[in-house]
Amino acid sequence: MWEHEYVAETTAAPAAVWAVLRDLDQWAEWDTSMEWVRLDGPLAVGSAVVMKPIGQDPITSTITAVDEGVRYADETVFGEVTLRFSHTLHPMGGGTRVVHRLEVDGPDAAAVGAMVSEDFPQAMAGLLAAARR
């Protein structure tokens, strides 16, 4: 298994970060790698999230965890490769620490993981900027 974490801190309160993160239908407004994102069903374990990365076909992920105000996670399966994403919020004095984690299992996990996670800094910057608005 290949793992990667990208961590950033913001002065925005955890509730402000969570409000942006939980609104999956608006992710393309701050995640510049996405053309669009659509939540099919409630924000709950087992619901599908369909997203279209720019220049690619739509992909479907399944929500695997929702801890209101704290953590969102989903899983995407491409044949023998499984990608598990999560965002976890940690309150800090005067702000929030956000951990964006990716785990990849399957053939060429390191190469897939490195490619998929290369935009984490830009996506995190967009998330935190939206939370500060």
- How does pLDDT run across 68-95, given as a tens digit for each residue? 999 999 999 999 999 999 999 999 999 9
Distance CA 96, CA 35 (A): 27
Task: Name the residue ranges covered by the structural domains of the chain.
Answer: 2-132
pLDDT of residue 87: 98
- Across residues 102-108, what is the average pLDDT? 96
- Write down the residue that tokens 């669009």 correspond to: 36
Q: Tell me which architecture the domain covering 2-132 has in CATH.
A: 2-Layer Sandwich (3.30)
Q: Which residues pair with 89 in a beta bridge?
A: 98
Identify residue 84 by its one-letter amino acid code: R
Q: Is the whole model's pTM more than 0.85, yes or no?
A: yes
